[in-house]
Amino acid sequence: MSIAFIDLQAQRRRLGDSVDRAIAKVLDHGHYIMGPEVAQFETALGDFCGARHVIGCGNGTDALHLVLLAEGIGPGDAVFVPAFTFVATAEMAPLVGATPVFVDVDETSFNIDPASLEVAIRTARDAGLTPRMVIAVDLFGQPADYAAISRIADSHGLTVVADAAQAFGASLGAAKVGTLAKYTTTSFFPAKPLGCYGDGGAVFTDDDSAATLLRSLRIHGKGTDKYDNVRIGLNSRLDTLQAAILLEKLAIFADEIVARNRVADRYAQGLGDVVAVPKVADGAVSTWAQYTIRHADRDGLAARLKEEGVPSAVYYPIPMHRQTGYHAYPVAGASLPVSDRLSREVISLPMHPYLDPATQDRIIEAVRSSL
């Protein structure tokens, strides 16, 4: 019996023909770009998380690009990003002429380490850069420590951005992702906890002026007339078909988050005595985009799991500051030891809301026997 790493087909079966009907409705009205479903989905997302404004866009990377444009980030500016994450978080800074400065992460949460952020700010100033923005990634589904990050950001005049590409639906205390920073960005890539059947993204903000600017920037910088483009912008709109699909998925999303946490709890109970399992901060709820454990012989474990028919993946085998296109950019202090260590030890196991107990037991037993 094959095991799916992420089982989108199980979700498809649960949704039944609702997605087909949603797609057919778009095909019937024919408004494929900025059709009514886009505004409906933006409203539904805001209602779900409590954000005043939601601006749909082409993908999660564009969402970050839009935020940097809205804040006027450019040459001479430092943008602080964790080294242990996907490339999209860092790549937007050079594209607007700014400099990414890599920050180490906490080895328990995998999220940006506030103490390392303080060091990174000094590093940036020593290099003649102007600290402007910190992009905190909610890695694998758990929100970063925004209270600590915001205190540091406020003392240095930094704008805080929450990169929630893996964490929409999560929460920290009473606040949901989408409301934890001035800007929150997310992705609807199919493998995300809330994913479409193509590319899509969104920006969340409570700032009325910023929302107006973002809506202009996502459509070529348009003014009141679409042929009067008042600023340099992007062509980054969420497709109507994807919005229609996401509306159907959002209807079952809260239930799926509960199921993801149930799966995570069973993993922790079954593996906590043999490997380093992830831990969620007190008062936080993760969406568990990935269930990532740590082991010194990660590659050996992956090979043995493959022999047992259990898929696994490594997120991420090379930290950002060691990748070819980014190794010349500044890092906090002299080194980023936690990011380096995690890249050698992490391995992710199958995780999705439809992972049944019998299959999960098979995975747990395969891990235990492999060790």
The secondary structure of 54-114 as a DSSP string is EEEES-HHHHHHHHHHHTT--TTEEEEEESSS-THHHHHHHHTT-EEEEE-B-TTT-SB-H
315: nearest Cα among 296, 343, 294: 343
Residue 357 tokens read as 């107990």
3 state SS of 78: strand
Q: What b/e string do you get for 144-177 counting C-beta neighbours within 10 Å, with b at 16 or more?
A: bbbeebbebbeebebbbbbbbbbbbbbbbeeebb
The greatest distance separating any two alpha carbons of the chain, rounded to the nearest whole angstrom, comes to: 65
Phi-psi region of 89 (alpha: psi -120 to 50; beta: other; left: phi over 0): alpha
User: CA 338, 344, 345, 348 torsion: positive or negative?
Assistant: positive
Contact 235, 219 (CB under 8 A): yes
Confirm if 156 and 131 have CB atoms less than 8 A apart.
Answer: yes
| Bond into 316 cis (ω within 30) | yes
Asked if 311 contacts 350 with a C-beta cutoff of 8 angstroms, the reply is: yes
> How far is the first Cα of the chain from the last one, in angstroms, to the nearest whole number?
22
Half-sphere exposure of 311 (CA within 13 A, CB side): 11
CB 110 within 8 A of CB 343: no
CA distances from 10 to 7, 89, 114, 192 (A): 6, 30, 39, 15
Cα 184 off chain centre by: 10
Give yes or no for a contact between 62 and 92, defined as CB atoms under 8 angstroms apart.
no
Phi, psi of 222 (to 5 degrees): -70, 155
The number of C-alpha atoms within 13 Å of 91 and in the hemisphere containing its C-beta is 11
Instruction: Give the residue numbers annotated as catalytic, written as ranges.
Output: 192
